[in-house]
């Protein structure tokens, strides 16, 4: 992976890769225990580290890899059903157009399982076999421990391979039932950053399909990035080139994008609109409020029916800490306004184009502020209080 980060902790759509695998495993409602593998001496050794937890347990034990985020629960269910009550074992396989890097499944003349050969130990003929082992097995607990004790390091890497266990079953005439995954993508493992990129798109497509199925209109899925854990309401439209991170909640009937970045902690209430080149971080955008152009909203609480003009910045960071700004219902923030937090922009108030509202200035309800630094415009009506808006250069949609 060329990374200091452990492989299975690399993020895939907003959660560690292993998080997807654990979610799949938990669909089987397993008993749970945690053990530590101090040394990495192969897949067989990894399972041996769990021996104390498995002692005396003869129920089914499922073994799977932490780098297969596309594996679905249905595959594991089929694996357990194939093993049944036989007391033998079952395993997952698939056929690959490019099996490089995977162990090949060797079958006898009757197409029964015979053994698994790792690529480093395979002959040139064996490497041409397209059926690959996915490393996902179901055993009986007692049998598994017994066979693991008989695995020897006789491979090119000098490691104890769990893949040797199915061969021991077959050599003794016991049944090894193979469950072939129809969708080879489900069995994709990650061994490089290139693999990670391919798998990420597969996971992303599933996330997008789930939102589409829930009534979210995604105009261009190919340029839309939505993390695991983002909540989006029915009737919301997501325009192209939009990024929505985990921990974001978007209400019903909203518009997001194009070129919008919603970061963790952001909430868009029903009917809110956040548009072109606008970034929101840990902010709440009230019902029917709009921030449509070139704006940054950091640690901001925006009320209902607010218009945020183009180029507005809520400057939340003073170099040491983040601070919050509260914008009241019906406020009208002029284009190019900078609001230095902590601050308050009162309900029904207006800021003129290019205004700089300095730290803690606190614009009052229905007041009009203009200039640098911004000051209240005396005897002026707000946009809601008079016949016309005295401040030019705002944007509204």
pLDDT tens across 218-229, in order?
A: 999 999 999 999
Residue 62 · residue 80 · CB < 8 Å? yes
- Which of 90-99, 342-351, 376-385 ranks highest by mean pLDDT? 342-351
Q: In what order do the strands lie in the sheet with 231-232?
A: 231-232, 249-250, 267-268, 284-285, 300-302, 325-327, 343-345
Asked whether the predicted pLDDT for residue 179 surpasses 90, the reply is yes
228 is catalytic: no
Can you say how many angstroms the Cα of residue 140 is from the centroid of all Cα atoms in its chain?
33
Q: How far is CA 361 from CA 167, 341, 344, 357, 381, in A?
A: 76, 9, 7, 6, 19
Angle between helices 164-171 and 141-148 (to 10 degrees): 100
Q: Where are the domains of the chain?
A: 7-187, 193-376
pLDDT tens across 124-177, in order?
A: 999 999 999 999 999 998 889 888 888 765 555 666 778 889 999 999 999 999
Among the listed residues 293, 323, 381, 383, the single catalytic one is 293
Verify cis geometry, omega within 30 degrees of 0, for the bond prior to 36.
no
Would you tell me which CATH number, out of the four given (2.30.130.10, 2.160.10.10, 2.30.110.10, 3.30.70.380), belongs to the domain 193-376? 2.160.10.10
pLDDT for the residue 388: 44
Q: How far is CA 158 from CA 120, 146, 171, in A?
A: 11, 21, 22
pLDDT for the residue 392: 52
Residue 292 · residue 273 · CB < 8 Å? yes
pTM: 0.90
Q: How far is CA 131 from CA 93, 94, 97, 110, 111, in A?
A: 7, 6, 9, 16, 12
pLDDT for the residue 342: 98
More confident residue, 253 or 98: 253
Asked whether the predicted pLDDT for residue 194 surpasses 90, the reply is yes
- 72, with CB counted inside 10 A (0-12, 13-18, 19+), is middle
Q: Rounded to an integer, what distance in angstroms lies between the CA atom of residue 279 and that of residue 185?
A: 34
Superfamily of domain 7-187: Spore Coat Polysaccharide Biosynthesis Protein SpsA; Chain A (3.90.550.10)
Asked whether the predicted pLDDT for residue 21 surpasses 50, the reply is yes
């Amino acid at each position: 992976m060329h990374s200091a980060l452990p492989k299975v902790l690399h993020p895939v759509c907003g959660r560690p890769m292993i998080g997807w695998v654990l979610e799949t495993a938990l669909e089987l409602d397993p008993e749970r225990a945690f053990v530590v593998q101090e040394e990495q001496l192969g897949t067989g050794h990894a399972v041996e580290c769990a021996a104390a937890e498995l002692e005396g347990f003869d129920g089914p034990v499922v073994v799977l890899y932490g780098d297969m985020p596309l594996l679905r629960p249905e595959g594991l269910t089929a694996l357990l059903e194939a093993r049944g009550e036989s007391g033998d074992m079952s395993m997952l396989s698939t056929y690959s157009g490019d099996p490089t890097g995977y162990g090949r499944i060797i079958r006898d003349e009757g197409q029964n399982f015979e053994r698994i050969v790792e690529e480093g130990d395979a002959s040139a003929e064996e490497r041409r076999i397209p059926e690959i082992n996915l490393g996902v097995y179901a055993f009986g607990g007692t049998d598994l421990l017994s066979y693991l004790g008989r695995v020897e390091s006789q491979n090119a890497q000098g490691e104890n391979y769990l893949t040797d266990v199915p061969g021991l079953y077959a050599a003794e005439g016991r049944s090894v039932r193979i469950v072939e995954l129809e969708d080879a993508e489900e069995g994709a493992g990650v061994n490089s950053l290139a693999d990670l990129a391919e798998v990420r798109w597969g996971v992303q497509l599933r996330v997008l399909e789930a939102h589409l199925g829930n009534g979210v209109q995604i105009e261009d899925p190919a340029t839309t990035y939505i993390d695991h854990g983002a909540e989006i309401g029915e009737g919301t439209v997501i325009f192209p080139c939009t990024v929505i991170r985990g921990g974001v909640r978007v209400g019903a009937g909203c518009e997001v994008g194009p070129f919008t970045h919603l970061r963790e902690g952001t909430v868009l209430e029903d009917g809110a609109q956040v548009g072109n080149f606008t970034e929101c971080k840990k902010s709440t955008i009230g019902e029917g409020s709009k921030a449509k152009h070139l704006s940054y909203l950091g640690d901001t609480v925006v009320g209902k029916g607010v218009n945020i003009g183009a180029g507005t910045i809520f400057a939340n960071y003073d170099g040491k800490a983040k601070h919050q700004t509260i914008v009241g219902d019906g406020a009208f923030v002029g284009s190019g306004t900078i609001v230095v937090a902590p601050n308050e922009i009162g309900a029904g108030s207006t800021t003129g184009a290019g205004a700089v509202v300095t730290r803690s200035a606190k614009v009052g309800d229905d007041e009009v502020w203009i200039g640098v630094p911004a000051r209240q415009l005396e005897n002026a009506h707000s946009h809601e209080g008079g016949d016309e808006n005295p401040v030019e250069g705002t944007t509204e949609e």
